[in-house]
Structure 1
Amino acid sequence: MRMRLATLFTLGLTTALSMAFAPLTHAQTPAPVQAPAQSPTLAAPQAQAENPVADKDYHTGLIPSPHIYLPQGQDLIGMVFLISDAKGWGAAEEAQAKDLVESGAAVVGIDFPSYMKSLATDDGDCIYMVSDIEDLSQQVQRRMANREYRHPILAGVKEGGTLALAMIAQSPFATIGGAIAVDPGEIVPLKKQLCTPADKRPTDTGIVYGLTDGALPAPVTVAFTPEADPAGKAHALTLKQAHSDIVVKETSDDAEDYLGTWLQNQLSSGKSEGALDLPLSVLEAKPAMDTMAIVYSGDGGWRDLDSELGEYLQSQGVPVIGVDSLRYFWAKRTPQETADDLKRIIDTYTDQWGVSNVVLIGYSFGADVIPAAYNLLPKAEKKRVKQLSLLALSKEVDFEISVTGWLGMAGAGDGGTTVDDIAKIKSGLVQCIYGTEEDDDPCPSMKASGVETVAIDGGHHFDEDYQALGKRILDSLQKRLPK
């Protein structure tokens, strides 16, 4: 059974799940453009940019009556969650949203006062805002029918900026695209804690949050105008001391003007894809085994298992190309299209890194698509592939991300079956790794055919022992490499 790979902090799990099944809210904006009444996971015609779309067909969780704006007649270049200040959503935010939409961005506007009231009603142990942000971002982008998923940018002035920073404190990697806070304060005005391991300092009016230790999950920029709150500025500089990668700027511009300029520049720089115009993560390493790895992530994107496994391989002298399946398969791909892009990756990076061999690794959704893509590779590229490591394999193949996969259910299986695809591959090349708690994994059924099957304690995430997982892959690879 395929599950969505997501990092929810332990205290926030109950909250996130309760949000996922909260009732829909209704827009309260005048004369909205009605979104077509169909499932949020299906693409619908784009709405006019001039007015917000009614949200009744969207699942908004604890975000009350968001103002949703969609561009018309152009490719989506970005996704912005624009959070108002304590005065609420008004003319300045409306104008900002429309400017962004004219540039090709989708915008979800959040009214800060009503959002605070809604969050205060949460009955979980702590409050986890990011699940609603990510869920609504995916719904909106499904409506847009864009080819590539865009991670949302969090943006706000004053209290809205304070909240954007707090969201970063509880965000997993590969979930938020970035955050911009202009003139933020220091206190989030909620008595109940947010779900985050970051430092917390309660006050009479709320809680002051730090950021989680280690690398930030997304780029963060904080800007201050002459009108900035001194306490908020001092807090941001404290965050900067702990996280040198935070960008802190001073500006003489008006706060809304600076925010708009920053967002426009960010959206323009994000129009192009990564390397090879594909959503790739490139992990350089001095090759120690004359081999590179290509890792296709699960349907949650390049994070958690995929990212940590890639970093382990990199530490062992295996350079890695990570393919973000959430973004790459956001729109339907064909097996041949997938194989053609895989060929480009193999050709480009074996040459760039001077290696002869390739190990293909896929997790969950990523494991499902690899066999069919491998079978369609030209002979020269096939010859370079010395091992296919398939982790948490499903029985059926999909070449498009589906909400059913996130809910732990099998997809449509429009791409055929993994077992049939694997049967066309020399069994000695295939390593199939499964968790002992996964009853419906097809790996055990292929052992008799000569496929290497590896059982690891745990379920879909292998008890999160990703270093041991990486060691299993490399130990088998060593046996398959030319002597």
Structure 2
Amino acid sequence: MRGTAPRRSRRRAAWLAAVVIVAAAVLAAWLGWLGAWNASPFADLPAASAGTVKGERYAAVLLSGDMGPRAGLGGQLATRLADHGLATVSVNSLTYFKVRRTPAEVSAMLAEAIHRAMTLGHADRVIVLGQSFGSDMVHVGLEHLPADVRRHVAMVVLTVPTRTVFLRVSPLEWLDRTPPDAPALPSAMKLDWVPVVCIHGRDEPDSLCPLLHLPRLTQIVLPGDHYLDKDADRLFAAIRGALAAHFGPGRIFAKRLTSGAEIAP
């Protein structure tokens, strides 16, 4: 009997070790599928058809949420933009922000993405979009964007931005277990040099959008909470409508869509 207890303890320890190893392998594989181990955060999505505005060509940069474009609405939105004629560079936030970044590094990455989108779409102007965590990084990166790059930014679209800034993607942040690096409002309020569209859910309690006061700001309220009912079509229609309202119907996308969104200038 004396030898039975140690054997049981060893078996239990071995079983627990095996569970931990399997769980770690599954987590690593899942993170790999999301793109955490990608060499580059950029994915080029060429336009399905060309879109021009009086000789100008437009492209887009879209920063995904913290779990990358394969999770959430970011990847679906990037695909829809490209499918409707807007060459898009999709930035995998999980890939780039798996290590802590400085605001200067975020600006440099965003400048690279903008130049990449201009090359991809043979474009003069770029629409910069963010989804959730990506929206937070958009206004952080744009704050110190060099003037020679800033002049190419035609519009900024922030989808479900939050009120805090994290400069690293972390599971602890997913669990609300780590303090933010900064409040979001100071850098977001410096977007006074560009038209801004801010989109949030009607039931979202801590959106940055209601706090923003900018000279060329359009607020869009969609049904749902932070996840916008996971309705990518409705989100794309709202963004498409905002672009049409600013640039003119049919000048970026070929057809008009109605989203049922509440738009307030």
Q: Same fold judged by TM-score > 0.5?
A: yes
Does residue 455 in structure 1 map to residue 250 in structure 2?
A: no
Is the CA contact 1:279–1:323 (under 8 Å) kept in the aligned structure 2?
Answer: yes
1:288 to 19, 42, 51: 51
Residue matched to 2:254: none
- Residues 63-90 of structure 1, C-alpha deviations (whole Å, 9 max, x = no match): 725279xxxxxxxxxxxx8xxxxxxxxx
SS at 1:66 equivalent: helix
Is the CA contact 1:386–1:481 (under 8 Å) kept in the aligned structure 2?
Answer: no
Structure 2, unmatched stretches of 5+, are: 1-10, 252-265
Report the AA paired with residue 435 of structure 1: G
How many angstroms does 1:448 deviate by?
7.2
SS at 2:19 equivalent: coil
Report the AA paired with residue 14 of structure 2: Q
Relative contact order: is structure 1 or structure 2 higher (C-alpha 8 Å, sep ≥ 6)?
Answer: 2
Residue matched to 1:475: 241
Is the CA contact 1:427–1:451 (under 8 Å) kept in the aligned structure 2?
Answer: no
Does residue 363 in structure 1 map to residue 138 in structure 2?
A: no
Work out the percentage of aligned pairs sharing the same amino acid.
Answer: 24
Measure the CA separation in 1 of the matches of 2:124 and 2:158: 21
Measure the CA separation in 1 of the matches of 2:211 and 2:233: 26
Does residue 302 in structure 1 map to residue 66 in structure 2?
A: no
Is the CA contact 1:396–1:417 (under 8 Å) kept in the aligned structure 2?
Answer: yes
Taking a change above 3 Å as real, the CA distance of residues 330 and 311 of structure 1, as seen in their structure-2 partners, is: same
Measure the CA separation in 2 of the matches of 1:26 and 1:348: 53
With structure 2 as the length reference, what TM-score do the two structures score?
A: 0.77
Does residue 28 in structure 1 map to residue 30 in structure 2?
A: no
SS at 2:110 equivalent: helix
Residue matched to 2:8: none
Report the AA paired with residue 139 of structure 2: P
Does residue 437 in structure 1 map to residue 203 in structure 2?
A: yes
SS at 1:312 equivalent: helix
Taking a change above 3 Å as real, the CA distance of residues 449 and 291 of structure 1, as seen in their structure-2 partners, is: closer
Is the CA contact 1:364–1:394 (under 8 Å) kept in the aligned structure 2?
Answer: yes
Runs of 4+ in 1 over 3 A off after TM superposition: 174-177, 447-450, 478-483
How many angstroms does 1:349 deviate by?
2.9
SS at 1:28 equivalent: helix
Does residue 372 in structure 1 map to residue 140 in structure 2?
A: yes
Taking a change above 3 Å as real, the CA distance of residues 65 and 462 of structure 1, as seen in their structure-2 partners, is: closer
Is the CA contact 2:195–2:217 (under 8 Å) kept in the aligned structure 1?
Answer: yes
SS at 2:67 equivalent: coil
SS at 2:165 equivalent: coil
Does residue 64 in structure 1 map to residue 19 in structure 2?
A: yes
Residue matched to 1:3: none
Is the CA contact 2:42–2:89 (under 8 Å) kept in the aligned structure 1?
Answer: yes
Which structure has the greater CA radius of gyration? 1
Q: Quick check: which one's helix share is greater?
A: 2
Measure the CA separation in 1 of the matches of 2:235 and 2:210: 17
Is the CA contact 2:192–2:214 (under 8 Å) kept in the aligned structure 1?
Answer: no
Taking a change above 3 Å as real, the CA distance of residues 463 and 334 of structure 1, as seen in their structure-2 partners, is: same
Report the AA paired with residue 43 of structure 2: S
SS at 2:68 equivalent: coil
Report the AA paired with residue 306 of structure 1: G
Taking a change above 3 Å as real, the CA distance of residues 28 and 471 of structure 1, as seen in their structure-2 partners, is: same
Structure 1, unmatched stretches of 5+, are: 1-24, 30-53, 56-62, 69-80, 82-107, 109-132, 139-148, 152-173, 178-269
1:404 to 158, 172, 180: 172
How many angstroms does 1:394 deviate by?
0.8
Measure the CA separation in 2 of the matches of 1:364 and 1:459: 12
Is the CA contact 1:27–1:66 (under 8 Å) kept in the aligned structure 2?
Answer: no
With structure 1 as the length reference, what TM-score do the two structures score?
A: 0.44
Taking a change above 3 Å as real, the CA distance of residues 382 and 64 of structure 1, as seen in their structure-2 partners, is: same
Measure the CA separation in 1 of the matches of 2:22 and 2:223: 46
Report the AA paired with residue 425 of structure 1: L
Measure the CA separation in 2 of the matches of 1:26 and 1:293: 54
How many angstroms does 1:279 deviate by?
1.6
Within-5 A mapping of 1:2-401: 27-28=13-14, 55=17, 64-66=19-21, 108=25, 133-134=26-27, 137=28, 151=32, 174-175=33-34, 273=39, 278-285=40-47, 286-289=49-52, 290-303=57-70, 304-401=72-169
SS at 2:61 equivalent: strand
